[in-house]
Amino acid sequence: MICNSIRATTDCFIDTLKQLVFMQIEALTVLYAGSGGNNHALDYYNETKYPLAVKLGTITPGGADVYSYEEDSMVMDPKLSEHLSHFGINMMIMSKTDKTMTELQIDANIKLGEWSVIQESGHELKLVYGPGYTGLQNLGNSCYMNSVMQVLFALPEFKERYYDTAVDTFKRQTGDPTKDFNTQMCKLARGLLSGDYSKPLPPAEGSTPEGEKEGQKEQEGIRPNMFKTLIGTGHREFSSNRQQDVQEFFLHLLSAIERAEHTSRGTRNVADLFKYQVEEKITCVVSGKVRYSVRPDSILTLPVPMETASNQAEVAAWKEKKAQLMAEKKKINHDEAVRAKVSFSSCLGQYSSSTDIPDFYSTELKTKSPATRIYRFKTFPKYLVVQLAKFAFDENWVPVKFDVEVDVPESLDISSLRGGGIQPGEVELPEESGPAQPEVEIDEGVLSQLAGMGFDIEGCKRAIYHTKNQGIEPAMNWVLEHMGDPDFTDPFVPPGSVKSAGGGADKGGVASEDSIAIVMSLGFTREQAMKALKATDNNVERAADWVFSHMDELQQMEEGEGEEPMEEEQFSDGSGKYSLIAFISHMGTSTMTGHYVCHIKKDGKWIIFNDNKVAESVAPPKDHAYLYFYKREH
């Protein structure tokens, strides 16, 4: 992010640099290393309130580690070269001599159990180079983005859409390329797939390369600064330098692709590759009548039933031993850790089993009645993305991650989960609306607290709505009970709100009058403002950007040509048999902390992409991953 202090004044930065840039910034170095320090930089900030510090050894032509004590995080300075040149530092000729904060954080954890297993740190990995083997530099906790982009650009459809069309896209570009999504996707595709930037680094000056194998030199990789800035624009979390949930970023990216392709005629919407239709069947227990509905989805979220672990006694014994070691302040050998072993079939079985709905409004009985709900696939997507819900809260309401191994198969057959619609002998519930739902205003304070714990914001809105603003604890209980629901992360539209012309709720709800007024204040008509808000899920900041990048369409509206009808969502279908082609693993106690890496199957071999390090995998840790990507066999 561009920190507030930079936007406020450049003088603050210059004065701070005079005091700090030539110091070894101890407070920064020990931030993750934990080796102590004298807090000189922190004391200087407390005294002067000048917040910024630069770590000298990380200055390269591509940037440097800049830390803000005011925001308590790493930040980006868009004019770093200009600021450093004020002191005679030419960043274009500088080379990296120190580890970045991200690298220090990873080093501090690399020997801790799960970190070692997932990064395969106990094995000698052969580094690889060439087209499709280009690393991505970590821009400060951007590993979640790096992992997703590596997986997607390994798919042939993404190569066809963004790599093969890159030259034509660049030639057609007439506006600001830094704000054009398709241009930035093509640029990233060229960087990752051309092989031009996947080369071993030259030996450092003064080094002795005798005996060093050419294949064991790291590559620098590419810095996707422009792409990260663009994809995060208007989003509170993805515009920051904080760690993020890779699943949420994946869905955010798909939404960005859909918005961009809606305005690009004749291009393929690659977001459709992951879409499928979910069939929901609700049965009124008392009347026996049923209701079927179909909704789209892009991720299959599976619960992890820890109570089904096959080694519960061993896990309990390890926890007891660990607690005793901690009480005696003795060292814990993480290599001895015992993880719960849960079968993938139990995860899938819990998802596909029937669940109870205690307060279902039966249109047959015209009153509340117990009911059951069951989910099935109406269509099977080309690429099936499976998320294991490994995160929950402990007895002290502290977010925790399950220390679990799930035997995820490389070949998956879910053909038995195909839905068949209403069956012979079944009688549908009458189409009659239930009682009017009282309007519940979402408490922003409770919403902020829940979202700050790492829960999806749409799910948090649902929790507050269904608990009728009774406070944080009831809302959190609702979240914990329903976070495995397939629609938990879908855009929330309160029951009884305005419906779209097709009868369903608009994806982002109805734009508020305040939002419409803000966009209209830029000089556009009400119809144009509503179109922009609809295209950006009612995000005012993104809508403003959308307005200026779609002037031709808006001009057509002004001239009375009307807008083109929205294309219907496309769902491919085929067999329910899949093969595992990639997975993304998370290391750390929360999706908001830690580190992400991905493994991708290329030419029959598993390859690990750990930011700018790309190597052949020796022991792919598929039992420890968080997000899995399957390809339909036919």
pLDDT band of residue 38 (cuts 50, 70, 90) is: low
Q: What is the model's pLDDT at position 431?
A: 82
Structure tokens at 177: 């390329």
Contact by Cβ (8 Å): 351, 375:
yes
Q: In 3-state terms, what secondary structure has residue 230? A: helix
Quote the pLDDT of residue 325.
85
pLDDT of residue 141 exceeding 80: yes
Higher per-residue confidence, 18 vs 76: 76
Residue 437 in 3-state DSSP? coil
pLDDT recorded at residue 24 = 33
143 is catalytic: yes
Cα 438 from Cα 461, distance rounded (Å): 15
pLDDT at 143 > cutoff 90: yes
Task: Give pLDDT, residue 236.
Answer: 74
Q: Residue 495: what pLDDT?
A: 57
What is the pLDDT averaged over residues 130-149? 93
Scanning the structure block, which residue is given the tokens 């690298």?
Answer: 103
CA dihedral (143, 146, 150, 153) in degrees, to 10, reads 160
Q: What is the pLDDT of residue 370?
A: 93
Helix boundaries (H) for 379-456: 444-452
Please give the single-letter amino acid code of residue 320: E
Query: Per the structure block, which two tokens stand in for 259?
Result: 């918005």
Q: Are 608 and 599 in contact (CB under 8 A)?
A: yes
How sure is the predictor about 7, in pLDDT bands with cuts at 50, 70 and 90? Answer: very low
pLDDT given for residue 181 in this prediction: 93
Q: Residue 167: pLDDT band by 50, 70, 90 thresholds?
A: very high
Stated pTM of the model: 0.68
Given 143, 186, 284, 347, which residue is catalytic? Answer: 143
pLDDT one-digit tens code per residue, 591-616: 667 899 999 999 999 999 999 999 99
Q: How do strand 404-406 and strand 340-342 relate by DSSP bridges?
A: parallel
Site of tokens 């398709």: 182
Identify each DSSP E strand in 227-318 by its residue range: 276-284, 290-297, 300-303
Please give the pLDDT value at position 271.
93
Closest C-alpha among 604, 490, 596 to residue 148: 596
Terminal Cα-to-Cα distance of the chain (whole angstroms): 43
Catalytic residue among 595, 598, 599, 624: 595
**Does 634 participate in catalysis according to the annotation?**
no
Q: Residue 559 pLDDT > 70, yes or no?
A: no
Tokens describing residue 168? 């034509």
Structure tokens at 65: 């580690």
pLDDT of residue 240: 81
Whole-number mean pLDDT of the chain?
78
Q: How confident is the model at residue 480 (pLDDT cuts 50, 70, 90)?
A: confident
What is the pLDDT, as a whole number, of residue 318?
Answer: 87
Whole-number Å distance between alpha carbons of 373 and 363: 16
Question: Which of 298, 271, 278 is closest to 374 using CA atoms?
Answer: 278
Are 493 and 463 within 8 A, CB to CB? no
Q: Reply yes or no on whether the pLDDT at 44 is more than 80.
A: no
Tell me the domains of the chain and their CATH numbers.
4-97 (3.30.40), 99-200+215-266+382-418+576-634 (3.90.70.10), 513-558 (1.10.8.10)
Q: For position 544, what pLDDT does the model report? A: 66
Q: What percent of the chain has pLDDT over 70?
A: 74
pLDDT confidence tier of residue 618, bands split at 50, 70 and 90: very high
Task: Determine the pLDDT at residue 174.
Answer: 85
Token digits of residue 499: 């419906």
Helix residue ranges per DSSP H, 402-525: 444-452, 457-466, 472-482, 513-520
Whether 206 has a pLDDT exceeding 60, the answer reads: no
pLDDT of amino acid 397: 62
| CB half-sphere exposure, 582, CA atoms < 13 A | 23
Average pLDDT (284-297) is: 93
pLDDT of 498 strictly over 50:
no
> Which range is least confidently modeled, 126-135, 196-205, 359-368, 385-394?
196-205
More confident residue, 298 or 359: 298
Mean pLDDT, to the nearest integer, of 460-488? 79
Highest-confidence segment of 141-150, 502-511, 534-543: 141-150
